[in-house]
Structure 1
Amino acid sequence: MALLSFALWAVLHYGYAKRLARLAQSIQEWDTGNLNTDSMPSGGDEVGRLAEDFTAMAARLRTHEVEQLRLEREVLNISESERQRIGHDLHDSLGQRLTAASMTANAMLEAVKAEAPGLAAHGELVTQQLREAIAEARSLSHGLAPVTMEAEGLMSALEEMAASVSRSGRVRCVLDCPQPVRVGSVETGIHLFRIAQEAVNNALKHASASEIRIGLEQQGRDLVLEVEDDGSGMDETTPHEGLGLRVMRYRARLIGGSLDIGASPAGGTRVSCRVSSPFPS
């Protein structure tokens, strides 16, 4: 009888322990984002009820996460729409007014040169300042509304950003885009541009680089954006990422992409974002 009781205890204990191990494994998989409810132990005992409660909790958390992501995306899209509106207003309203004022100033300068040559230097200064104001307004409008509705808007915006950085004279910035890249979603294009913009700004501020490369390439069904520099590299002693890096990761997450930050073959830092984005039809 004692032997039979021990055998029965061993069978029950082994089965209970095995089901607990399955539950623990399922919890670990959920922690990595791979919850499979089919592998959860069932039954009317404590293990089964615990598995049922955990599954219900995981479903609630997943629903909350999806809703939070939707709200965050909506807030970011509203912010981006406002930036685009201001950018368009700068270009269409202020830009046109400054252009008209510049044309008027040029006409007045010609008259001043003929009738009051002594004031010509002041007139030339005014026209020069107006030209600089027009260029600054254009630069601001492009920065606020960089990506157009066209499928190749991202490629054009990155090309303009590289040219603008190079014109500043601080570093050489190039766009490496072997083949034309078309993006089917304006939202994806805007987030990728903002990621590139933040990465380039970080390189300008912190890397002491002499060259920055912006890479854009379609790899199968994936769109790959890279920004790398030949600067001093990342500070390994920094314990936490700054706000800019966190925002880049957040933008990548919003468009279903992944962001990797590491060492560049050129000796500096490379930021790489990969997102599923097939060629639009």
Structure 2
Amino acid sequence: MRLKTWPVAALGLGSLLLLIALSMLASSRRAQEIFTQLDELNTYHHNVDAKLRRLRSDVHLSGIFVRDYLLDVERERAPEYRQSLSEFRDTNTATLADLRALLNRDDDRIVSLQARLEEYWQTFEPLFDWTTTEKILHSASFLRREVVPRREAALAIAQEIEELNNANLTMQRAEVEKRLAALRRDLLRMLGQSLSLGLIVALVAVYRLRVLEKRSDQQRVVAEDAERQMRQLSQQLVATQEDERKNLSRELHDHVGQVLTALRMEIGRIERMRAPADARLGAAVIECKTLVDDMFRTVRNLALGLRPSMLDDFGLQAALEWHVRDLASRYGVDVELTMTGDFDALPDRYRTCVYRAVQEALTNCVRHASARSITVTVTSNGEQLEAFVADDGVGLDQSRRRNGLGLRGIEERVRDLNGSMTIDALSGKGTKLAIRLPLPEAESEAPLRRAAGQ
């Protein structure tokens, strides 16, 4: 039982595709998690930084606002300044609460910052009860001793928080880089696994293909050897058939023909020896002569049908001319024969091949194609022998072309001589058979006998 490798290859390819799909899904999910984490980290840092900038901005603006109040000598606007400063304080308190929620822990720095800001805002409460004279006398010292130190302390704490936030951002980015590095390692491992599995599948496929190619080469060698033997057998059969036909034709012509000739002569002698008044014997002799003549024509036709002696005695052209005349007179068709070149030196195999091919083609034209006009052209230029048979019949049936023994026999004869045969449909109707045979260079044939029996 031969091992079937396609299930193994299919399983390997399926596993490879499944591994790639699962790895891609896992990698995509991890990459999405990393990108989400990085986006959240950037958003968090941006929000914390924005809140710290808002706190510092509120503190700076409040200092400018208080400076403007101290420089304003109109006491009647004190409630307005108090209200505006109260709004600054509320905004600053809300921003601090948002910052504390973002940091999500009771950090000492947040608590200290909140306490410093409370002190900073409470420092401004007595200012709104000062008189104009007190503003002029104490504003500069008040700002220098009370406001600026508290503002700087609050801003310093905010700066520490910002630095802490930046440090936290750096640490988290380092963690993201670690996860990215782990993702790269996983991708490389997945690539290595995929390549390993793909290499295994490829090796199995290549090995199997190599085995199949070797088996195919062996089968091709066996098939070529069988074809060569079949062709040799076919050549031997064709040669044996031609020899048998030649022998039978010779036997019919030489022996049976001679016996019939002697019989005809004996009947003639009997006719001369009979009494003139014997009418019954005369009628029997005439009947015998008629039967002998019919028998002689039948034997001659059989001998010529098996293999015309003129093909060996007078060559291809004479044999084809006789066959064309016989076919035209027998079936009443118009056959035109054109032969160009020297055919006397053709080897026997080539003469026999062309004659049999033309004979079979003419028979098909008359019996199957119902042709009324046939053209036969044979040319030889010393290097190649060509024969064409064209008719005006009903055309060629493809089933007969595949299964017909006559056409197959022609093709086999032509192939044995390294030639080619083509059959084409003519425009309108009809069929054209073409045979091309390369002529041998070294092979030569003995001169044709010019008389029967020589």
TM-score of the aligned structures, taking structure 1 as reference length: 0.72
Matched, 1:101 2:271: no
Matched, 1:66 2:224: no
Per the TM alignment, residue 148 of structure 1 is displaced from its structure 2 partner at its CA by 6.2
Alpha-carbon contact 2:365-2:371 (below 8 Å) kept: yes
Per the TM alignment, residue 143 of structure 1 is displaced from its structure 2 partner at its CA by 1.5
TM-score of the aligned structures, taking structure 2 as reference length: 0.47
Q: Decide which of 425, 445, 450 is 1:263's aligned counterpart.
A: 425
Amino acid at match of 1:187: R
Aligned match of 1:168:
330
Aligned residues: 252
Amino acid at match of 1:159: E
Matched, 1:55 2:217: yes
CA distance in 2, matches of 1:238, 1:215: 24
For 1:247-271, what per-residue CA distance to the aligned partner results, in whole angstroms no more than 9, with x for missing partners?
2222222222222122246942222
Aligned match of 1:33:
none
Amino acid at match of 1:245: L
CA distance in 1, matches of 2:421, 2:429: 19
Matched, 1:92 2:233: no
- Provide the secondary structure at the position in 1 that maps to 2:422: strand
Per mean C-alpha deviation after superposition, the further-off stretch among 47-56 and 65-74 is 47-56
Where do 1:92-171 residues align within 5 Å? Answer: 92-111=254-273, 114-116=276-278, 120=282, 122-146=284-308, 150=312, 153-171=315-333
Alpha-carbon contact 1:90-1:141 (below 8 Å) kept: yes
Aligned match of 1:31:
none
Per the TM alignment, residue 97 of structure 1 is displaced from its structure 2 partner at its CA by 0.8
Where do 1:118-267 residues align within 5 Å? Answer: 120=282, 122-146=284-308, 150=312, 153-182=315-344, 184-219=346-381, 221-235=383-397, 240-264=402-426, 267=429
Aligned match of 2:83:
none
Which structure has the greater CA radius of gyration? 2
CA distance in 1, matches of 2:368, 2:388: 18
Per the TM alignment, residue 113 of structure 1 is displaced from its structure 2 partner at its CA by 8.6
Comparing both structures, which one devotes a greater share of its residues to helix?
Answer: 2
- The verdict on how the C-alpha distance between 1:131 and 1:265 changes in structure 2, with shifts beyond 3 A counting, is farther
Amino acid at match of 1:74: Q
Per the TM alignment, residue 174 of structure 1 is displaced from its structure 2 partner at its CA by 3.6
Amino acid at match of 1:106: G
For 1:205-252, what per-residue CA distance to the aligned partner results, in whole angstroms no more than 9, with x for missing partners?
122222333322114522112222222222468684423222222222
Per mean C-alpha deviation after superposition, the further-off stretch among 196-205 and 181-190 is 181-190
- Provide the secondary structure at the position in 1 that maps to 2:433: strand
CA distance in 1, matches of 2:230, 2:426: 34
For 1:40-94, what per-residue CA distance to the aligned partner results, in whole angstroms no more than 9, with x for missing partners?
xxxx955555544443432332222212211222123222222221111101110
- The verdict on how the C-alpha distance between 1:104 and 1:161 changes in structure 2, with shifts beyond 3 A counting, is same
Alpha-carbon contact 1:94-1:137 (below 8 Å) kept: yes
CA distance in 2, matches of 1:237, 1:167: 30
CA distance in 2, matches of 1:106, 1:72: 48
Aligned match of 2:114:
none
Identity of aligned residues (%): 25
- The verdict on how the C-alpha distance between 1:265 and 1:130 changes in structure 2, with shifts beyond 3 A counting, is farther
